[in-house]
Structure 1
């Protein structure tokens, strides 16, 4: 599944996951012939039957109209989010439809969007999609199997390196007839491939032929999705309009969604300025990531009189891993003892109380807030995966449950720092003239933390003070969004604050996070530069997991091997979305557990807005 955060704006889809089971309501029990179905699920049965009318978390009678005003941080210079050049506009994905649509109240199930049916055999070695004859691009041209073939061939050969790696299991793509496209996966054991190929926005072949796909462009592209890009001011704003002629507006997967007639995005270079603009009514909705702002910034007349609503909404997804990420390609971070030692300088308990208003929970696992977290010693099923790798993984994998360094919150961490110094000395570093230096060369230990948001400097500053007590020299470099993206793409950093978001059903994206083959490939998300055959082996076990239990076991095994290699210094997480919005929107009574569901909201009329306060 594809996962997205702002530093990785090449990707617009949600993270999909790890293995496949086809459910067809029309199939006879024990039949050897795969039967076309209205959807596919990773594990178990689909929730919704073939004749379902809408998802339970939507209001099929929601009115259409009104404008949703939103904000983005930074700037943009391109409407092509599929390449590693340029800074794409954040929400250009609104113009694209995919073959299938994900259900947000199931761990990983998809239902027909551009495809009216999907057929897959029990061994999951191929899949066919039958396209809807009525599907049209915004210029009126039909969506054809040739467009699907063109999309995948172009992305894998000319797009971001992510696509070539993520869809490497596709052996062949072919148009079977005027409405059917077939993907063949050869001998691949990647059981989620039939699902993840269904999530890609389909490109119009007739539009892109003759254009330079690999160059950033502000030409307005053509898509088959519910919105078209109506107007924009380069780097400053973009406005999308709901298509009156949208071919798929009455499909079950769309009913009750895409209710705003216009969605406008304004870009701000400073998040503090952006918050003040929100309170002044310049835009309508915020998803807050700063605990300080959430605790102190959301005040004023509009909050007092009910014009702005402030809520914390439960998040049913794994929280993933936000962390200080080491670039292990650099010699100073190659030794895991060094990485473990520096973790003792991050005093989460003090930081949480004094800076974060006790808003967060310490992260220990790459799959926190889920059953996939390795928070107990490995059981018999895990040991079956780990024992063959015993000589390739740290011994603690078998004997200890990983916990990130913990303090009493007083700020006195001398004991912690002594533990770190002992590890550094074991790794060949020595304390000389109040500086940590290499015992052989005398070179001082110094590195740079790359940031994109100035507000995060207050979080990093206490960490740096503790590192300096260990003799480590640290510099902070704050750059703009475009430079930050380019430096991440080229791995031009010592340490960054980043995240590895996870879904409820992890899968193919784990290669991009941790795979050895991608460690030196610019534009991938293996930011840490991990080259570890044990990690590679466990990622493949996870991807090939035949059922939910096997997936959970493989995820736990992978989690603990990543933990004990100390590739990152874990930070913190929160299991809610913190949202604020001007009180002029309606929303369904039932919320989806795996998504915030902003695309299911609608605009209230004036009388309804008054009653909502």
Structure 2
């Protein structure tokens, strides 16, 4: 699973371990958590996660920022721009552990039971779980949340495609039934969607009208989580306050977490203005994704005298990989030919950009699982080769003979050679130069497209790329639009090319069908932004999902990676191996952050609250 933790990143590949006592011999064996392989780190009776400080004080104000705008608090819809931080209003069935690669423990659910054939999963709710109005969280709430989440969000329509029903099977039990056996991911990812109150959504709002979960809303929503919406200004600010009456504050998975008394998000339409707000002290925390600013933009008093701290942390990327890329939309005729797409890669001079624009801070991405042990390299062998041989007639022959590499530029001769190779590929694809314009030799149609962006920051890379494309007669235009327009166009596949980052974990699973599967190519709202419809990819995705152990999963993922790369579906960009963060010296955390996360703001706390 990838995703989509808010944002996330996400999980897959589950092995249920660790037992608790049951009341009758015929009761299912409920476990306190799920994990990838081996034993859970934390066993029954654990007090708190090691990276959380049980003595952390509660209180203090945290000021954060976001770009764009928001127009809804509804956590289940994909449409609209959901308010930053609204996830803190809602609990989920399970909570992820940030010092394990893929492990979750009971939050709303005190346990989960799965039969040996993995044909279903049963979650038992905690009797003390309550909504903010004091009413219990019930199986009916879980079923209502699941059904609407699956229906209203195209991502989860695919994610939970093999969950055929959710039903109440006990006073506090909900059972999800699967139409496929052996899918080890499904029980775990069923613990991830937000649980919303059925009675609240089926009730009447302050305006006297019935609420509608199928629509966006700016009515402050009610949840069972640690925070509540205290105030907001539509589209620009939102303030959350810690609930004193939060039912789950003393659960082991929550001890030492949710420490800030209030969290306020302010929205900005421009990333540079957003940074200026941080410099001025109006924002407390900043994750810097601009190499030039990180290298040269902190030459101001607060950063030089230590009032602002800066850190480069590898933690979030230790168990996650990415494919950051320019993504041509193959639903457009000009991108259907693989040779055209390969030519687009030859026109991207990463080495020149890295030196002159990116301060040599990045590495070229050469895998859909870049930065992990799942990334393919060299030539296939062993189990990976066996899998590819099974579908050899569907796989590009170079997969078996030529390791994937990106073109290398960086000097005039290499750049000319790459552009010359791009011209050769375009000629093979039926294009010819007519004057200074690349046109289809048969139709005379120019090779032209728009690169759609949602941030002006990306223009510093997109514009030089477009200039390089113009050198070989391709008319590439860069257009940056506001967040709401960008979301709408992307969800409807209304673009020629976009810039996108797919996040991966060490346990890819069901989300791969949404990223690359043929069925997702025509499903609006999916993450198959390239429009991939490839029988080899479709054959390998189930191999990834149903792998029985990590070695089998690794071989399946590498095989999938090779096929995706060989078809040149995207133009790989670049990424880094660490996160750059800066923050005002107002916070504290334990000396050791969680191994696989920054833990901010979950396990940090305010210095002012400690006084």
TM tier, smaller: over 0.9
Unaligned runs of 5+ in 2: 203-209
Q: Distance in 2 between matches of 1:55 and 1:606?
A: 21
Q: Distance in 2 between matches of 1:188 and 1:477?
A: 46
The residue aligned with 1:185 is 178
Indicate how the Cα distance of structure 1 residues 478 and 411 shifts in structure 2: closer, same or farther if over 3 A, else same: farther
Give 1:26 shift.
5.0
Q: Distance in 1 between matches of 2:411 and 2:505?
A: 31
Deviations for 1:352-406, whole angstroms, at most 9, x for unmatched residues?
0100000001110111111100012111100121112111111111112111111
TM-score by length of 2: 0.95
Alignment map for 1:439-518 (pairs within 5 Å) = 439-518=441-520
The residue aligned with 2:121 is 127
Alignment map for 1:245-264 (pairs within 5 Å) = 245-264=245-264
Give 1:227 shift.
0.5
Aligned residue for 1:164, secondary structure, equals helix
Give 1:536 shift.
1.4
Indicate how the Cα distance of structure 1 residues 607 and 594 shifts in structure 2: closer, same or farther if over 3 A, else same: closer
Query: Is 1:189–1:543's contact at 8 Å kept on the other side of the alignment?
Result: no
Aligned residue for 1:68, secondary structure, equals strand
Aligned residue for 1:198, secondary structure, equals coil
The residue aligned with 1:594 is 596
RMSD: 1.7
Aligned residue for 2:321, secondary structure, equals coil
The residue aligned with 2:288 is 288
- Return the match for 1:391 from 393, 398, 414: 393
Query: Is 1:18–1:551's contact at 8 Å kept on the other side of the alignment?
Result: no
Deviations for 1:252-284, whole angstroms, at most 9, x for unmatched residues?
111111000100000000000111110100010
Alignment map for 1:24-103 (pairs within 5 Å) = 24-26=18-20, 35-103=29-97
Deviations for 1:146-194, whole angstroms, at most 9, x for unmatched residues?
111111111222x121121111111221111221111111334421100
Alignment map for 1:597-608 (pairs within 5 Å) = 597-598=599-600, 599-605=602-608
Alignment map for 1:201-220 (pairs within 5 Å) = 201-209=194-202, 210-220=210-220
Indicate how the Cα distance of structure 1 residues 416 and 175 shifts in structure 2: closer, same or farther if over 3 A, else same: same
Say yes or no: does 1:266 pair with 2:260.
no
Query: Is 1:15–1:509's contact at 8 Å kept on the other side of the alignment?
Result: no
Q: Distance in 2 between matches of 1:103 and 1:476?
A: 41
Say yes or no: does 1:151 pair with 2:145.
yes
- Return the match for 2:546 from 540, 544, 547: 544
Deviations for 1:120-141, whole angstroms, at most 9, x for unmatched residues?
1222111111111110111111
Aligned residue for 1:466, secondary structure, equals helix
Q: Structure 1 stretch 316-325 or stretch 271-280: which is displaced more?
A: 316-325
Give 1:606 shift.
8.9
Give 1:32 shift.
11
Q: Distance in 1 between matches of 2:301 and 2:398?
A: 55
Q: Structure 1 stretch 436-445 or stretch 291-300: which is displaced more?
A: 291-300
The residue aligned with 2:298 is 298
Query: Is 2:58–2:259's contact at 8 Å kept on the other side of the alignment?
Result: yes
Aligned residue for 2:187, secondary structure, equals helix
Query: Is 1:67–1:263's contact at 8 Å kept on the other side of the alignment?
Result: yes
Indicate how the Cα distance of structure 1 residues 85 and 26 shifts in structure 2: closer, same or farther if over 3 A, else same: closer
Deviations for 1:272-310, whole angstroms, at most 9, x for unmatched residues?
011111010001001111111111212211011110001
Q: Structure 1 stretch 508-517 or stretch 208-217: which is displaced more?
A: 208-217
Q: Distance in 2 between matches of 1:395 and 1:94?
A: 49
Q: Distance in 2 between matches of 1:578 and 1:470?
A: 36
Give 1:593 shift.
2.2
Indicate how the Cα distance of structure 1 residues 47 and 318 shifts in structure 2: closer, same or farther if over 3 A, else same: same
The residue aligned with 1:241 is 241
Query: Is 2:408–2:414's contact at 8 Å kept on the other side of the alignment?
Result: no
Query: Is 1:40–1:111's contact at 8 Å kept on the other side of the alignment?
Result: yes
Q: Distance in 1 between matches of 2:77 and 2:411?
A: 44
Query: Is 2:57–2:610's contact at 8 Å kept on the other side of the alignment?
Result: no
The residue aligned with 2:313 is 313
Say yes or no: does 1:563 pair with 2:559.
no
Indicate how the Cα distance of structure 1 residues 33 and 537 shifts in structure 2: closer, same or farther if over 3 A, else same: farther
Indicate how the Cα distance of structure 1 residues 606 and 544 shifts in structure 2: closer, same or farther if over 3 A, else same: closer
Say yes or no: does 1:199 pair with 2:192.
yes
Q: Structure 1 stretch 264-273 or stretch 469-478: which is displaced more?
A: 469-478
Indicate how the Cα distance of structure 1 residues 21 and 85 shifts in structure 2: closer, same or farther if over 3 A, else same: closer
Aligned residue for 1:19, secondary structure, equals coil
Deviations for 1:517-542, whole angstroms, at most 9, x for unmatched residues?
11111111111011112111111110
TM-score by length of 1: 0.95
Give 1:319 shift.
3.0
Q: Distance in 1 between matches of 2:370 and 2:52?
A: 28
Q: Distance in 2 between matches of 1:441 and 1:530?
A: 25
- Return the match for 2:331 from 329, 332, 356: 329
Indicate how the Cα distance of structure 1 residues 288 and 410 shifts in structure 2: closer, same or farther if over 3 A, else same: farther
The residue aligned with 1:171 is 164
Query: Is 1:12–1:91's contact at 8 Å kept on the other side of the alignment?
Result: no
Say yes or no: does 1:279 pair with 2:279.
yes
Deviations for 1:387-445, whole angstroms, at most 9, x for unmatched residues?
12111111111112111111244586110011111111111001111211101011111
Indicate how the Cα distance of structure 1 residues 605 and 247 shifts in structure 2: closer, same or farther if over 3 A, else same: same
Deviations for 1:231-257, whole angstroms, at most 9, x for unmatched residues?
000011000011100000111111111
Q: Distance in 2 between matches of 1:80 and 1:311?
A: 34
